Amino acid sequence: MRITKKFIVAGAGVVTLVAGGGAAVAATTVAAPAPKVTAEQAIEIAHKQVAGAWVSELDLDSRDTGADVWEIELTKGAQRHELTIDAATGKVAKNETEQQSDKDDDDRDDRDDRDDRDDD
């Protein structure tokens, strides 16, 4: 009878440890809270910076060190704008403009010409 009591006590201890460990793992895998600035708000902020542009890319960058940011790429005419917007405050952290090169257009024309030749 003493042996049976020892097994019951030991089994209860193992169950307690496993349950406690499971709770600890569950607590560490809780999803991060949603950003205060939504994607729609980030796009509105970007359009205020670059009026008349269209959004070609939008990503939420969850950084390990520092605040989460929205990374938005806008295109207006021959210019590409890359903006970084703080997902907590809505402040523009970075606004870079890059001129799209004519070389990109020439490369597309060359590919189109090759495609035409392949059809012959």
Is residue 120 pLDDT above 90, yes or no? no
Q: Where are the domains of the chain?
A: 1-30, 39-118
Is residue 59 pLDDT above 70, yes or no? yes
pTM: 0.57
Instruction: Tell me what pLDDT residue 89 has.
Output: 94
Q: Which long-range contacts (CB under 8 A, 24 or more apart) does 42-48 make?
A: 42/70, 42/72, 42/85, 42/87, 42/90, 43/72, 45/83, 45/85, 45/90, 45/92, 46/72, 46/74, 46/81, 46/83, 46/85, 47/74
CATH of 39-118, one of 3.90.1150.10, 3.90.700.10, 3.40.50.1220, 3.10.450.40: 3.10.450.40
Q: How confident is the model at residue 8 (pLDDT cuts 50, 70, 90)?
A: low
**27-36, 38-47, 108-117: the lowest-pLDDT one:** 108-117
State the first-to-last Cα distance of the chain, in angstroms, to the nearest integer.
Answer: 93
